Structure 1
Amino acid sequence: MVDARRPVDAAAVFGGLAEIAEQLATGAGGLHALQRTVDVTVEATAAAGAAFIEYGQDSGRVVAATAALDWSLGRPVDLIHPTLRGLLQYGSRVREIPVSLLGTVGGEHLRGRGLARFVAAEVNAGKTAVGVLVGGYHDAEGTAGPDERAALGFLAGLVGLQYTLGRGLPIHVDAPSVDPVAEPFALLDAEHVVRTWNPAAALLTARSPESAIGEPWPFPLPTGAETVEHQMACGTWIEIRAATVPGGTDISVSFRSRADQTSDGRDLFIALTGHELRTPITVIRGYADTLVEHWDSLDDGSRREAIYVVGQRARELSRLVDRLLNAVGDDGTPGDASALLPFDLVDTLTAALDDLSPEQRRTLTVALPQTLPKALGERATLATILAEFVTNAGKYSLNWVEAVLTAGADAQTVWFRVADRGIGIRPEHVERAFERFWQLETGDQRTRGGVGLGLYLVRRIVERQHGWVSLRPRQGGGTVAEVRLPRADADAHGEA
């Protein structure tokens, strides 16, 4: 697929910029203005698609996307991979990146959709790097001209201004940003002699650049995509990754202190889960006692109703226990791809409908295709994910408005969505909803149950399977929840 070199629509570009300026001038902004900036990026650079990747706690995540990159919304991006670290640290602010260089960090998904190259500009709010604005192109032989580079640089500056104003940005307000340039980094020559040693590396290792540069690399050096853990003489454990710099023989090395495994929010976790466990247990015990003590005085209809309520609450309790076990037993890291198995998504979703309550099934319209390519993942987890989506659709709706379950596939992924007509979700909440313990309603205003773990666990479960999940407002009102999993028959070159 080759890009048609279409002329830039100046009216669309300036109209979009005027809309963004008006939002910022009136005190608005947030994700809506960020998304509008990404939309304008396509028009201003003649790109096939555009996206903004926000730096997060451990990597990055696509928080706004459009056109040929709209499928990537919610996808995690390994921004501290040595390949990208080298590209982000060296060269001009606006960088051109062939997709062929990104094989280890998602290049197969991009090639599978016909994208061949990217132009990227890092976004800074003051002196803090907050993310990367990218435009994608289909033509492998093309190159970014001065107009495209200038437009992308200007729009990256506009995004930086939005982050400086801080109106709903960053999206992940509770996560410290990872600045790839501020992470420990070294550049080695082909003989593994240190050529570059940044200040963060000096701080972590207590080795100054003067004492490190020109000396052999002092730690184990991993090969391929592996991560090596090493304990330094001071006792600190570090994680090391390395990759050959594209187009040369130098080796880019990223390393950092091993993540602390201690849990946070333990008191809040205990308080919330204790309350949520107590509710179904109290109901089950109450109805069970009633049946035992008054069986003979109850008519057949009353007995059936009591047994039905016990069964319904027992299913709720079972789902809650599953969530708690997942919360304490899953570290959230992607699993071994070789352990994932192909499965039929349509059959799996159809079977998962049986786990929903009668009320949920009555308000869910199922519009699944007859067949789809097989997905690669963990079949047993789909029932949990679907139940969470449908539960949220009802929880944040008036009188359980109708939701629709659909599914489909593209060259690289198999996906399913639950779209509802509930109260909807504001753009600034679409990522916060995946945070642990976060609730749409909090404090004394909270009227709906839940521990705030559902979507948090859904994201961990899906990303463990090398997929991703996203929320977005539905046009006309309501919310769309979407999961994408790898397609089982897509090969390493991105072809199905």
Structure 2
Amino acid sequence: MVDAGPLVFGGLAEVAEELNSGGGGITGLQRSVEVAAAATGATGAAFIEYAHENGRVVAVAGDLDWSLGRPIDLIHPAVRGLLRYGSRVREFPSSLIGTSGGQQLYSRGLHRVMASEVSANGTGVGVLVVSYRDADGAADEEQRAALSFLASFVALQYGLGRGLPVYADAPAVEPASEPFAVLDAERRVRSWNPSAARLTSRPAEAAIGEPWPFPLPSGEEIVDHQLPCGTWIEIRAARVPASDDLAVSFRARPEQPPDGRDLFIALTGHELRTPITVIRGYADTLVDHWENLAEDARREAINVVGQRARELSRLVDRLLNAVGDDGPTVESTTLLPFDLVESLGAAVDELNAEQRRSLTVTLPPNLPKTRGDRASLATVLAELVTNAGKYSPNWVQIELTAGADAQTVWFRVSDRGIGIRPEHVERAFDRFWQLETGDQRTSSGVGLGLYLVRRIVERQHGWVSLRPRRGGGTVAEVRLPRADADGPGEA
């Protein structure tokens, strides 16, 4: 066995030196995840940050590299039961997780998982996870202690800030703060957290030992129930692995977020006005000076009007999608199998001439079919190529590749542009966010492209990620569920 000591201590020293010099952020987090894999003898590692309503994989290493950018439903009772039931470091077979996340792990030969929740200043900020390929093994005390120590080390980084959490502009939800209960085999309440007491106006002493007072869902069902005070709650339940207990998550129906109308108007006014001004100018010129213009001048003016009109139409569609209903994930029964290679070829044909000239397409002759919305693929590809072109010199060296594994079919758009800083790989998916430092912004836009891509892909049970490209540039990766995989790909 290779001695991992030098790698572990060397990696920790690198992160500590960066923290001492005022750095850190997601670069230090990524290095800590790599160290976690080495220190625990694991084949893969990942950090899931609590963000928005659930969580997302923001740093990966080894066998969990495919999961970067994947949304994780941390409020799911199966996951809550694993994280909240027992010691700080939990070890369990991936087959017992009970969600499609377990299927994703198991199908890739990752049969065992060890996890430790990370808390900074008394607040949960995420989960450090390592994976193993042996189904019958078990972590020894040193490995468990190493994961616990590294979870504390990550907590220190979050406590210092320096670019963490990744979702600095959005309040993260701590699963511990969500109403949660554990029921015994007779469905009597064994555990009732303070949030459950506040939501239901039922203190723990009045709930524990009593029968569960609300409807209980079965399987992946979500049950709506109205409390006597009029509040509607959503209830989910799942068995706690290796026990007869039942974990129950419930919460008030989330309110609709503010629509950001002022921000929308401020950021889109100029983008809408520019093509309208050009169209109007050329149209007025054609009307007022038609007889005095040469045939070539007329054709050029008409071509400009048509090009700007198409740009305006696309921009309006994007804006309407961005402020429309975020809606739930699309039901799996409405997503149909399709050929990704064939569909990508058709989507390439829909790109404009300049984009096609800049794109090198290297696709395998065939891939397993994916399940999703074929029509949306053209939009996803166009947005990714457009984004790559913005930050690539003269629209060159943009590559499209694709492949598949046991659970997903994927494609990547890679460029040799200026690259993306690690702290921006998640911020880039925020609505209206743009890279605007120095001379890096070379084209206009309202910061909706990647936001729309993530929204479209995740509604189809897939996920999308950005990462710096080795040698310079950026890689955007989209993963969609295989049509022949068991169950949808949602977290």
Scaled by the length of structure 1, what TM-score is found?
0.94
Distance 1:345 1:227 in 2: 32
Pair 1:346–1:295, CA change in 2 (3 A):
farther
Q: How many residues align?
A: 489
1:348 aligned residue (343, 358, 366): 343
> Distance between the aligned counterparts of 2:426 and 2:395, measured in 1?
24
Which of 50, 55, 61 is the equivalent residue of 2:56?
61
Match of 1:255 among 250, 253, 256: 250
For structure 2, the 5+ residue unaligned runs are: none
C-alpha spacing 1:264/1:307, structure 2 compared with 1 (3 Å): same
Q: Give, in whole Å, the separation in 2 of the partners of 1:88 and 1:318.
A: 47
CA distance in 1, matches of 2:361, 2:290: 39
Q: 1:446 to 1:402 in 2, by over 3 A?
A: closer
Shift of 1:203: 1.1
Task: Find the residue that maps to 1:399 and give its secondary structure.
Answer: helix
Match of 1:88 in 2: 83
CA–CA distance in structure 2, aligned partners of residues 262 and 100 of structure 1: 36
Q: Does 1:238 align with 2:242?
A: no
Determine helix, strand or coil for the equivalent of 1:103: coil
Aligned to 2:392: 397
Aligned to 2:215: 220
CA distance in 2, matches of 1:449, 1:478: 20
User: Which residue of the other structure, out of 170, 185, 188, is the alignment partner of 1:190?
Assistant: 185
Per-residue CA distance 1:136-192 (angstroms, 9 max, x = gap): 001110011111111111111111111011011000112222222221111122333
Q: Secondary structure at the match of 1:95?
A: strand
CA gap of 1:465–1:438, structure 2 versus 1, over 3 A, is same
Whether 2:98 is the aligned partner of 1:108: answer no
Aligned: 1:424 with 2:413: no
**Offset of residue 487 of structure 1:** 1.0
Paired position in structure 2 for 1:386: 381
The amino acid that maps onto 1:155 is: L
The alignment status of 1:284 with 2:279, answered yes or no, reads yes
Give, as a single letter, the amino acid of the residue that structure 1 aligns with 2:382.
Answer: A
Tell me the distance in 2 between the aligned counterparts of 1:370 and 1:445. Answer: 37
**CA 443–197 in structure 1, closer or farther in 2 if over 3 Å, else same:** farther
CA–CA separation in structure 1 for the residues paired with 2:488 and 2:459: 22
Is 1:172 matched up with 2:156? no
SS in 1 for 2:376: helix
Question: Alpha carbons of 1:91 and 1:145: their partners in 2 closer, same or farther (altered >3 Å)?
Answer: same
Which stretch has the larger CA shift, 323-332 or 50-59?
Answer: 323-332
Taking the TM superposition and a 5 Å limit, the aligned residue runs for 1:193-212 are 193-212=188-207
More displaced 10-residue stretch of structure 1: 391-400 or 149-158: 391-400
SS at match of 2:395: coil
Structure 1 unpaired stretches of 5+: 1-5
What TM-score results when the alignment is normalised by the length of structure 2? 0.95
Aligned to 2:313: 318
CA deviations on 1:106-144 (whole Å, 9 max, x unpaired) are 111111111101011111112111111111001110011
Alpha-carbon distance in structure 1 between the residues aligned to 2:49 and 2:282: 50
1:43-62 paired onto structure 2 within 5 Å: 43-62=38-57
Q: 1:26-63: CA deviations, max 9, x gaps? A: 11111111111111112111111110000112111000
2:157 is matched with which residue? 162
Q: What code does the residue aligned with 2:195 have?
A: A
The verdict on how the C-alpha distance between 1:389 and 1:446 changes in structure 2, with shifts beyond 3 A counting, is: closer
Letter in 1 for 2:448: L
* 8 A Cα contact 1:30 1:162, kept in partner: yes
Is 1:327 aligned to residue 327 of structure 2? Answer: no
Q: Are the equivalent residues in 1 in contact too, given 2:391–2:440 (CA < 8 A)?
A: no
- Asked whether the equivalents of residues 371 and 480 of structure 2 are also in contact (C-alpha less than 8 Å), the reply is yes
Once residues 437 and 266 of structure 2 are traced to their aligned partners in structure 1, the CA distance between those partners, rounded to angstroms, is: 14
Distance 2:185 2:270 in 1: 59
Distance in 1 (alpha carbons) for counterparts of 2:173 and 2:279: 47
The answer to whether the aligner puts 1:71 opposite 2:69 as a matched pair is: no
- Give the conservation status (yes or no) of the 8 Å contact 1:75–1:468: yes
Aligned to 2:394, what secondary structure does the other structure show? coil
**Paired-residue identity, %:** 71
Give the C-alpha shift of residue 458 in structure 1: 1.0
- 1:57-108 deviation per Cα after TM superposition (whole angstroms, max 9, x unaligned): 2111000001111000000111111011111112111110211112324111
